[in-house]
Amino acid sequence: MKKGRKITGGKYKKFSKRKKHSIKGYIKKVKIGETKQKTMRVKGGNKKISLLSANIINLINPETKKAKKAKITNVLETPSNRFLARQNILIKGAVIETELGKAKITNRPSQEGMVQGVLVKE
């Protein structure tokens, strides 16, 4: 039968039109570079700060429980997708190189507007 038709010849109809809340958003990839942020209006009239690029991370040292800011130099590995590490894209779980040593990103930078991580023992 022709595309979009039942075996009897009748048409298939959509049960509902596309709603704004069900449309996927634009995928934002956070790269290493000068810090850039974008403010978006989200559901309920609230505002969400989205990160476009960053070069500073809030690092927590697990031994001393103290936080420090450090510069990001490189993305070493990304467990979810190795191609993201090659493009220097910052996502949750990525192991990065900083001036204080290796660190693991613990938050979602594209959703929260900052990069946070924990120092990793070598």
End-to-end CA distance of the chain: 63
Coil, helix or strand at residue 28 = coil
Residue of higher predicted confidence among 22 and 47:
47
48-96 pLDDT, tens digit each: 899 999 999 999 999 999 999 999 999 999 999 989 999 999 999 999 9
| pLDDT at residue 1, as a whole number | 56
From the list 23, 30, 45, the residue with the least C-alpha distance to 112 is 30
* pLDDT over threshold 90, residue 97: yes
18-45 pLDDT, tens digit each: 888 887 777 789 999 999 999 988 888 9
**In the chain, what are the domains?**
29-119 (3.10.290.70)
